[in-house]
Amino acid sequence: MAVSDQDLIECWFGRLTVPEIVTKLGLKSTSELRLQWRRLKDLGKLPLGSREGVDGESGQDGRPATGKCDLLLERLINVHGEK
């Protein structure tokens, strides 16, 4: 079953995770979904960045959140600030 560009675009901007989108659209794998999204990016139908709002929440200042893997960085920024 072919997935329409419109469905792919709606899923890009939606709140579902990549595995949930694969299931919803009936695709075989996450790599198939990513290839379709890459095609739409190349055509200019999707932004070139990542799905930051879904895959990881943004920080309050607009930068990506550091997440659990960068706890030391978070503590350094809290103690020393940024210049």
pLDDT, tens only, 4-61: 999 999 999 988 899 999 999 999 999 999 999 999 999 999 988 888 654 444 454 5
Q: At 37, which amino acid appears?
A: W
* DSSP count for the chain of H helices, then E strands: 5, 0
Confidence of residue 72 (pLDDT cuts 50, 70, 90): confident
Domain limits for position 34? 5-52+59-80
pTM of the model: 0.60
Tokens coding 5:
């560009």
Sign of the CA dihedral 10, 64, 60, 75? positive
Total count of domains within the chain:
1
Q: Give the span between the Cα atoms of 43 and 9, in whole angstroms.
A: 12
Rounded Cα distance, 3 and 26, in Å? 9
